[in-house]
Amino acid sequence: MTGHGPGTKPGTKLPAPPPGWIIDADVVVVGSGVAGLTAALRCAAAGSRTVVVTKARLDDGSTRWAQGGIAAALGEGDTPEQHLDDTLVAGAGLCDEMAVRTLVTEGPDAVRRLIASGAQFDVSRTGGIALTREGGHHRSRIAHAGGDATGAEISRALVQAVRTHAPAAPAPAAPDATGAPATGLPQGSIRTVENALVLDLLTSPDDGRTTGVTLHVMGEGQHDGVGAVHAPAVVLATGGMGQVFSATTNPAVSTGDGVALALRAGAEVSDLEFVQFHPTVLYLGREAEGQQPLISEAVRGEGAYLVDADGERFMLGRHELAELAPRDIVAKGIMRRMRERGAEHMYLDARHFGAEMWEHRFPTILAACRAHGIDPVTEPIPVAPAAHYASGGVRTDLRGRTTVPGLYACGEAACTGVHGANRLASNSLLEGLVFAERIAQDIAQGIAQDSTHGDAHEPTLPATESAAAPALTTPLLPASARTAIQRIMTEGAGVLRSGTSLTRAAAQLAALSADTEHKPAEPGVDTWETANLHLVARVLVAAALRRTETRGCHWREDHPERDDAVWRRHLTVSLRPDARSSTLDTLDVRTTDATAFPPVEPSRGGPATEASTNASPSNAPSTHDPPTNPAPPGSQAAATEENP
């Protein structure tokens, strides 16, 4: 398998001015959640000159919003094998067992290293880590901090550690080949660039290897406008894409930037149809948009009940774990009861907790509810499912390597194979932690090998800036199209999907593209973000339309049953130019021939390892079957999204 999908021409990019300033580094990490900051800290500890690029402030990512906690087999009687079993069940037959085994066996020590770096978890009366239980877990294995502020505490500890690695003053470096002023960094330091939107990957015109990223700093900090960070290793840790829907638990920065960048660079993404809708999000009315308050799974873990308007517990009898069933099952249970009763929401009843428990165990949730006029101490909480987590993302191996040499991904932006068709509660923070450490180790080994063999990769002009290989430039949608995309996705690709709704959504998204071909919008943060949302929306819809079954958090009303014979396999998607247009691209949608992923091209030269060695054969030549036709068992099929 080559580094790019069949027929893919890498180098599609967003229209933007050329970089006006440059930073030279060994590693650039895009994102400042648990995955990004852990990768940066481990890379710096290995002596790498590291740059962290983040869209807002260092502590403004999705990690700080994580309420429940981090799952690991830390308790007495618990084992990694039991954690593995719960994860595989939640993943509905699509987890990569080797990836899950890596997560659960390396997870406990990774959490201990997180504690050693300064994170303070809640402790029990005996002085050990206090562990609780959440949906899908048969053991109490969720470590939490501040009651329901685990993400905020992890973010605090990691941000503080990163700031201690900041260089005293940037070191001057020689100007870039373009003449733009360049800045160097001392070994083992971490430089942060905040309020910066990453734009595109830079690659070498000679071998397609990663050479850095372009970015736009949004009016604050030392640099302003479009610049570049030159580095032979890029780590995407940009978080999710929840803002593609009208209602989500994700912060405003979650616009799928990393997944969109990777697609434009020629990387493959996988499993994007599996968007987890958190079952218990505070219902604020049908007109509510943007980030919605999450009512953590931990509330149900402590004994809260899901009830309808009559007070009936409707999850009893639907699953052995009732309210603590995996999230996809609870979300479907809520949606079914809403349909049966013609209701817009259900209720989460935790009045039996009492005021003291609410104030000490869930102070953040209590405050959020009261801010919206609801007091969970005295009344049930109105809840409904909302977009929460992308189980898919940029396809990687067990070292975080993507199909583009030198490009890595971890956290929610990645698809490691851990989550399968549905993420187990509180596995996300652990996945970010474990695979970020593995990425840092791989980068350090690669740098050492390059140094030994005199094979250092100096930053060069990327193919996207080379006259010999002009790039396909993505036409920009107006910023106002963002609301239209969210409406299209909510109506056509939300919790309930069908062939009809997805076909309509695909046509509406394509129509937005067609409108831009002759009247593109001007480059800017709003239009770049809208372009990213539009691209990930297209991929999600194409994959959801292709998968004609119900599995995990993908629910097809017209195909309500799980179909292991045909669909216990993955969909991979890459971009390629549209032969009918000089500006538009199209999606190459492919079906793997087994549950295991095809090999991922190693980021550096040498033999394939781990995920590459036990995976199924690479993709067969592309065909042009209609997107809704499933691949027959044991075959490798492909389809292309057609632009009307």
Question: Edge-to-edge strand order for the sheet containing 269-270?
Answer: 414-415, 393-395, 269-270, 571-577, 585-591, 637-640
> Using the 8-state DSSP alphabet, how is residue 526 labeled?
H
Q: Which residue of the set 327, 361, 401, 590 is catalytic?
A: 327
Q: Which residues contact 385 (CB under 8 A, 6 or more apart)?
A: 277, 278, 279, 280, 281, 331, 334, 335, 495
**Residue 508 three-state SS:** helix
- Closest by Cα among 303, 306, 283 to 358: 303
Task: Give CA 396 to chain center in angstroms.
Answer: 12
Is 497 among the residues known to form the active site? Answer: no
Q: Which residue has the tokens 């999000």?
A: 281
Cα–Cα distances (Å) from 207 to 202, 204, 532, in that order, read: 12, 6, 26
Cβ 147 vs Cβ 361: under 8 Å: yes
In the chain, the amino acid numbered 477 is L
Q: Which residue has the tokens 């895009």?
A: 30
Rounded-to-integer distance, Cα 19 and Cα 5, Å: 28
Q: Which residues contact 376 (CB under 8 A, 6 or more apart)?
A: 348, 350, 351, 353, 358, 365, 366, 369
Cα–Cα distances (Å) from 385 to 145, 389, 556, in that order, read: 25, 12, 16
Cβ 9 vs Cβ 472: under 8 Å: yes
Cβ 213 vs Cβ 12: under 8 Å: no
Rounded-to-integer distance, Cα 562 and Cα 150, Å: 35
- Closest by Cα among 419, 90, 129, 455 to 270: 419
Cα–Cα distances (Å) from 573 to 57, 269, 627, in that order, read: 32, 5, 12
Provide the annotated active-site residues. Answer: 327
